[in-house]
Amino acid sequence: MGYVYYNPNPANKFVGDCTIRALSKLLNDSWLNIYDDLYLQGRAMFDMENSNAVWGEYLKANGYVPEVIKNTCPNCYTIRQFAIDHPVGSFLLATGTHVVAVIDGDYYDTGDSGNEVPIYYWRKER
């Protein structure tokens, strides 16, 4: 359990598309399909496809609900610890500047973002 390298970007790029990469893993879909879906969602909302509001609506439509992480230790609860604490389930974590998929205790990214501090997350509604 822990960090797993994941980069579905067809051009093998590493920056600017973390939301698309995370959603690709979370929803088990291709980078291109997620990109197209977010573009259409953004267009319908007159907003950019990588804005929190746009991918938030997209997650809601796919059965996810947002949760706030309690602020008991604002700088010490990391993505790594979240993954350890959540060995079952699918989650999308947001740090404010980055987005990461956590599935069954593993976090998927192009680099080990385990020390980053998440602010909130999305979980699959039961």
User: Can you give the residue ranges of every domain in the chain?
Assistant: 3-124
Q: What are the CA-CA distances from residue 60 to residues 18, 72, 77, 78 (Å)?
A: 18, 27, 25, 24
Residue-wise pLDDT for 23-54, tens only, equals 999 999 999 999 999 999 999 999 999 899 99
Residue-wise pLDDT for 84-120, tens only, equals 999 999 999 999 899 999 999 999 999 999 999 999 9
Task: Report DSSP state, residue 58.
Answer: H
Type and span of the H or E element at 94: strand 90-94
- 40's CB contacts (< 8 A; 6+ apart) are none
Tell me what the mean pLDDT of segment 57-63 comes to: 97
